[in-house]
Amino acid sequence: MIKQKADELIIKYLPKIYGFAMKKAFSYDEAEELSSDIVTEVYKSFLSSKEIYNVDGYVWRISEHVYSKFVSSKKKREGISIDGMDIPDYTPIFDESPEEELNLLRREIAFLTQLRRQIIYSFYYENKSITAITREMGIPEGTVKWHLNKSRNELKEGFTMERRIGKLGIKPIEAIGFAHNGNPGTNGGPEYYLNNKLNLNIVYSVYHSPKTLEEIAEELGVTPVYIEDSVKALENNGFLVRESANRFTTYVYFNSETYSLEQEYNQLEKKMEVAKLLTYEYVPIVREAIKNFDDIYIPGENRELFEATVIFYAISNKCEIKLETDLSQYRIKTLDGGEYMAMVDIPATASDPNFIPPKKHPSYAACGNMNRWSEKYPSVYSWSIDSRYSSRKGTWKNNLTSDYEYLYEVLTGAINESTANKEKFERLRNREFLTDDNKINVMIVRADPDEFFSKLPSLDESFKKLFADYAFEEATLLSNDYPPQMRDYVMHWNIFGFVGREIALMVMDILYENGTFRPLTENEKVTSNLLMFCDKLPDYK
């Protein structure tokens, strides 16, 4: 047999030979000596053989032969000769398929600590002496021997142990979407870190109960060595938080895996009651507050478009139920400069799929407040929320500060449509912020945004108290479906944000359906729920 083939085979069978020696020997030292003798004999036999048809049986026969000689030699050194009388029992070392046993050994080695893996690899796979390992690793010889002993015990236990693969190892979760509340870093929001299925499932594995690295690995059905780097990166970026006893938890928000259709329907019905109340009690005073404000540019000159946008802002931001909850632990601080609360949308199934709602509600999905301010042009600022009343695409990633800077440059005449500015004009037209004849298609307010928004009335405290009672009942029901570390978060946002974007959309539906506002044109949807602020208005209508 050529040397290359012999080398490959001896590496393949080395773990099995060591396992055989462990079963036969009475001490670890004996096992090392016996396995060394067997490996030497097997390797020499490989080199001298032309062809071997049954490698498993061949290696087993040599192993038994060397073991028999080993026992005789031991007895002779002890002054007792039983040469030829010690016939070992047939204990096949290949009672499982070779590949299966090798995978088992690899698995158990991977479950060792990093230091022990390194020592095992150096000693058995690289054939380094304990002295050499001591010198290379800079630890005492006794420590190396101690770790070898502990590693052997752990490997031996692991071979007879059934490691349970958790739910995520059989059926990992997948993300439907990601969101954040705060400022993303240079790499983006939580999707940059969690769009990888391994990272996502590592974080989710500690969501309902804290786990050690080894417990995370078992839950995922992988070995610790496979996820060590990922766990370290997730911890460094705040997605995993280390607790006592080296257990990890997370403050990333995942929606519950189950939900009640009936409960959802009842919650929307309660919010619809609130929306009707706001339509007739709060909307009129918002409209009154901006009745005489005319320092604004409105494409198409439909003032209802402006009023609807201001009402949407007011309901989303001026009707909040104030709470003093400390949410600092939920703010993830990433190494790329991000600081935000992270939310992951995962698939959920209805606990009551047979529930038939009395009526169908439209989607009330809307993104959070998107605020953009320019350092280049201090007066330039924008506020927007994307919903089904707007036609803008790409959510926050496509809503760039530079868009409003380019608009300001067009507005002030700082740029014209030339080769040098081609990309800026193309960008504005792609977003439909600029028409083909270079007219601005975004509502512009000439005012300081803080001063403008401060003129909008807050919701009366009596209404807030009434709504807080509704919100507390809803939040309590919802929070029971979440792990303990997330309940403050769930309670806060479901009370604080009870009167928010969902109800704002309901109010819009009422106002457009009852004829208070005319239906939006496709062109008006470009700037619906979007206001740009700066110190100049277009001089055209």
CA 465-466-471 angle, to 5 degrees, is: 90
State the CATH number of the domain containing residue 198: 1.10.10.10
Question: Kindly report the CA angle at 7 between 5 and 11, in degrees rounded to 5?
Answer: 120
What pLDDT, in 10s, does the model give residues 365-403?
999 899 999 999 999 999 999 999 999 999 888 999 999
Q: Which runs of consecutive H residues, i.e. helices, occur in 178-240?
A: 191-194, 197-205, 213-220, 224-236
Q: Are residue 288 and residue 153 in the same domain, yes or no?
A: no
Which of 159, 186, 211 terminates a domain? The answer is: 159
| Reported confidence tier of residue 163, pLDDT bands at 50, 70, 90 | low
Does 541 map to a domain?
Answer: no
**How many structural domains compose the chain?**
3
Which residue intervals of 358-448 are DSSP H helices? 401-412, 422-430
| Residues 152 and 219 placed together within one structural domain of the fold | no
pLDDT on residue 170? 58
> If we measure between CA atoms, which residue out of 400, 417, 396, 373 comes closest to residue 534?
373
Distance CA 311, CA 349 (A): 35
**Residue 45 pLDDT > 90:** no
pLDDT band at 78 (very low <50, low <70, confident <90, very high): very low
Q: Are residues 145 and 171 in the same domain?
A: no
Tell me the pLDDT band of 317, cut-offs 50, 70 and 90.
very high
| pLDDT tops 60 at residue 162 | no
Q: Which of 312, 309, 338, 365 is nearest to 533 (CA)?
A: 309
Q: Clarify whether residues 517 and 383 are in a common domain.
A: yes
Euclidean distance between CA atoms 140 and 304, whole angstroms: 80
- What are the tokens at 390? 């707007």
In angstroms, rounded to a whole number, what is the distance separating the alpha carbons of residues 286 and 304? 13
**Arithmetic mean of pLDDT, 1-13:** 82
Residues 6+ apart with CB under 8 A from 200: 172, 173, 174, 175, 194, 344
Is the Cα dihedral 324, 325, 329, 334 positive or negative? negative
Mean of all residue pLDDT scores within the chain: 86
- Residue 272 in any domain: the answer is yes
Query: Does 538 fall in a domain?
Result: no
Residue 486 has pLDDT above 80, yes or no: yes
> How high is the pLDDT of residue 28?
58
Q: What values do phi and psi take at 155, rounded to 5?
A: -65, -40
CA angle 421, 426, 429 (to 5 degrees): 130
| Strand order across the 530-533 sheet | 296-297, 444-445, 530-533, 381-384, 370-373
My answer on whether 139 and 190 are in the same domain is no
Indicate if the pLDDT at residue 226 is higher than 60: yes
pLDDT tens profile 337-375:
999 999 999 999 999 999 999 999 999 999 989 999 999
Q: Is the pLDDT of residue 54 over 90?
A: no
Quote the CA–CA distance of 248 and 216 in Å, as a whole number.
9
**Comparing 85-99, 238-252, 394-408, which segment has the lowest mean pLDDT?**
85-99
- Sign of the CA dihedral with 352 first, then 176, 495, and 321 last: negative
Residue 226: inside a domain, yes or no? Answer: yes
The burial of 338, by beta-carbon neighbours within 10 Å (0-12 exposed, 13-18 middle, 19 or more buried), is given as: buried
Domain range for 417: 258-533
Would you place residue 222 in the very low, low, confident or very high pLDDT band (cuts 50, 70, 90)?
confident
- Give yes or no for residue 81 having a pLDDT over 70: no
Shared domain check, 190 and 101? no
Number of CB atoms found within 10 A of residue 193's CB: 26
- SS3 category, 372: strand
- Is pLDDT of 430 > 90? yes
Model confidence at 240, pLDDT cuts 50, 70, 90, reads very high
What are the pLDDT digits (tens) for 267-313?
899 999 999 999 999 999 999 999 999 999 999 999 999 999 999 99
User: In this structure, is residue 421 part of a structural domain?
Assistant: yes
Whether residues 113 and 230 fall in one domain: no
The angle subtended at Cα 469 by Cα 465 and Cα 471, nearest 5°, is 110
Domain final position from 104, 125, 159: 159
**pLDDT at residue 496 in the model:** 83
Question: What is the pLDDT, as a whole number, of residue 533?
Answer: 98
Let me know how long the chain is: 541
Asked, for residue 539, whether it belongs to a domain, the answer is no
Q: State percent of the chain over pLDDT 70.
A: 89
What pLDDT was estimated at residue 123? Answer: 85
Q: pLDDT tens-digit profile of 12-36?
A: 888 888 778 777 765 556 777 888 8
Let me know whether 135 and 203 are in one domain: no
Q: What integer is the mean pLDDT of 482-493?
A: 92
**Do 25 and 156 form a contact (C-beta atoms < 8 A)?**
no
Q: Which of 23-37, 112-126, 169-183, 408-422 has the highest mean pLDDT?
A: 408-422
Q: Which H, E and C letters describe 449-474, residue by residue?
A: HHHHHHCCCCCCHHHHHHHHHHHHHH
DSSP state of 373: E
Q: What share of the chain is helix, strand, coil (3-state, %, to 5)?
A: 55, 10, 40
**What local confidence, expressed as pLDDT, does residue 220 receive?**
85
Q: Cβ(86)–Cβ(72) under 8 Å?
A: yes
Does any domain span residue 233? yes
* Residues 197, 282 share a domain: no
Domain finish residue from 159, 184, 205: 159
Residue 540 lies in a domain: no
Same domain for 278 and 397, yes or no, is yes
- Examine the domain organization and report whether 375 and 391 are in the same domain: yes
Distance of alpha carbon 402 from alpha carbon 412, whole angstroms: 15
Residue with tokens 């067009």: 410
- What's the confidence (pLDDT) of residue 526? 97
442-456 mean pLDDT: 96
Q: How far apart are CA 110 and CA 104, in angstroms?
A: 10
Q: What pLDDT was estimated at residue 2?
A: 81
State how far the alpha carbon of 72 is from the alpha carbons of 36, 59, 87, in Å: 17, 20, 10
DSSP letter, residue 339: E
Distance CA(459)–CA(284), nearest Å, equals 12
- State the pLDDT at residue 87: 28
Say what percent of the chain tops pLDDT 90: 54
Confidence of residue 532 (pLDDT cuts 50, 70, 90): very high
277 with 185, same domain: the answer is no
pLDDT in the model for residue 18: 77
pLDDT band per the 50, 70, 90 thresholds, residue 79: very low
The pLDDT, as a whole number, for residue 104 is 65
